[in-house]
Amino acid sequence: MPARVTTIAFEGAEVRRVEAEVVLTKGHVAFQVVGLGDKAVAESKERVRGAFAGIGLGIPNQRIVANLSPADLPKEGTHYDLPIMLALMVVMGLIPQDALDGYVCVGEMKLDGQIAAIAGALPAAIAANGWGLGLICPHDNGPEAMWGGNDDVLAPKSVIALINHFKGVAVLERPVRGELASPAHPVDLREVKGQEVPKRALEVAAAGGHNLLFVGPPGSGKSMLAQRLPGILPPMNSQELLETSQVWSMAGLIAKGELTRERPFRAPHHSASMAALTGGGMRAKPGEVSLAHNGVLFLDELPEFSPQALDALRQPLETNEVVVARANHHVKYPARVQLVAAMNP
């Protein structure tokens, strides 16, 4: 019987359920991870091997096969270390299988047996809650995971702490949910003198969620006006807060589990590449247009952006989502933004 630990894979902004299965089989001594993983997943076995050595345990001198199922779903990231390690511990008889049955498990292993933080803890927690499961995640991700709606979160600092918890030796404390930071606006619209018409335009755009283009000579206050838009936008509602925070979590931008209702304001430099704007590249992380989801994307000096980058924004502005093409599939990220641009005539 293989040991099974539930974990997740990200397909763009969507979370898919994945089972990490581990068996010991006959054959020459080896440790293999299969299931369409990227380089980080392939390296997982070395981190797991190192972590076992780090806590003073050897792994069985047999052929070990770890399968990430469904095997046709591409898997990226380092969060498979902990589920693979725990499944191997079940096979070795160190942890009972039923202790892990009610949990989704994510975490990156360090070579001393500590568990390192991962990106995407919030969507993982929300998905686990949807499946009626608790979450085992790294200690540093605990405050963020508590936003997922299920209080059954185990956030150990190390695998030893987790084993002690299951044995009842030292029960883990429940993490404290991160704070809801109140909006901090370093700049204020009242600092703009005169300019009644552009100010009115800014207010109308803020109220209606319209896109806006400022055209004017250098020094006329275009950048200044645009930067003061977040200060007059209404706060995000709870639904929007979770949507936007999930994208930020995937990009690893949530510190200490602190969320905010303040709408995002992203102002990428005009030298930004197409991948930086719309997402994609090596690990298909969300781009600026998705990080600005439910908020403002500000393109200062609009004509300086490459035509290719601007063309790539056309589709997300029309459909409110970004489709990033990967080698043999597509992934989607949400991108409902208000576009504000500025240029000289």
Ligand X SMILES: Nc1ncnc2c1ncn2[C@@H]1O[C@H](COP(=O)(O)OP(=O)(O)OP(=O)(O)O)[C@@H](O)[C@H]1O
Name the residues that contact ligand X, by CB under 6 A.
192-195, 216, 218-224, 342, 344
Which is nearest to 3 in space by CA: 92, 79, 119?
A: 92
For residue 264, the minimal CB distance to ligand X (Å) is: 21
For residue 342, the minimal CB distance to Mg ion (Å) is: 6
For residue 263, the minimal CB distance to ligand X (Å) is: 21
Q: Does 223 help bind Mg ion (rule: CB under 5 A)?
A: yes
Between 16 and 269, name the residue whose CB sits nearer to ligand X. 269
- On whether the CB atoms of residues 134 and 25 are closer than 8 A, the answer is no
Considering only the stretches 47-55, 191-199, 219-227, 323-331, report the one whose residues sit in contact with Mg ion under the rule CB under 5 A.
219-227
Cα 279 to Cα 281: distance, rounded to the nearest angstrom: 7
Considering only the stretches 13-21, 151-159, 170-178, 218-226, report the one whose residues sit in contact with Mg ion under the rule CB under 5 A.
218-226
Cα 86 to Cα 3: distance, rounded to the nearest angstrom: 9
Alpha-helical (H) ranges within the chain are 39-42, 44-54, 81-91, 97-100, 121-130, 142-145, 159-167, 196-208, 222-227, 238-250, 274-278, 288-291, 307-319
For residue 226, the minimal CB distance to Mg ion (Å) is: 8
Between 104 and 302, name the residue whose CB sits nearer to Mg ion. 302
Between 121 and 340, name the residue whose CB sits nearer to ligand X. 340
Give, as one character, the DSSP assignment of residue 119: S
For residue 313, the minimal CB distance to ligand X (Å) is: 20
Q: Does 62 help bind Mg ion (rule: CB under 5 A)?
A: no
Cα 9 to Cα 326: distance, rounded to the nearest angstrom: 15
Between 117 and 192, name the residue whose CB sits nearer to ligand X. 192
Q: Does 69 help bind Mg ion (rule: CB under 5 A)?
A: no
Between 178 and 268, name the residue whose CB sits nearer to ligand X. 268
Cα 181 to Cα 188: distance, rounded to the nearest angstrom: 19
Residue nearest to ligand X (CB): 221
Residue 192 interface partner, choices Mg ion, ligand X, none, CB cut-off 5-8 Å depending on type: ligand X
- On whether the CB atoms of residues 270 and 262 are closer than 8 A, the answer is no
Residue 102's identity, in one-letter code, is G
Q: Which residues pair with 37 in a beta bridge?
A: 75
Considering only the stretches 104-112, 126-134, 217-225, 310-318, report the one whose residues sit in contact with Mg ion under the rule CB under 5 A.
217-225
Residue 273 interface partner, choices Mg ion, ligand X, none, CB cut-off 5-8 Å depending on type: none
Return all residues near 132 (Cβ < 8 A) that are at least 6 apart.
none
| Interface with Mg ion (CB under 5 A) | 223
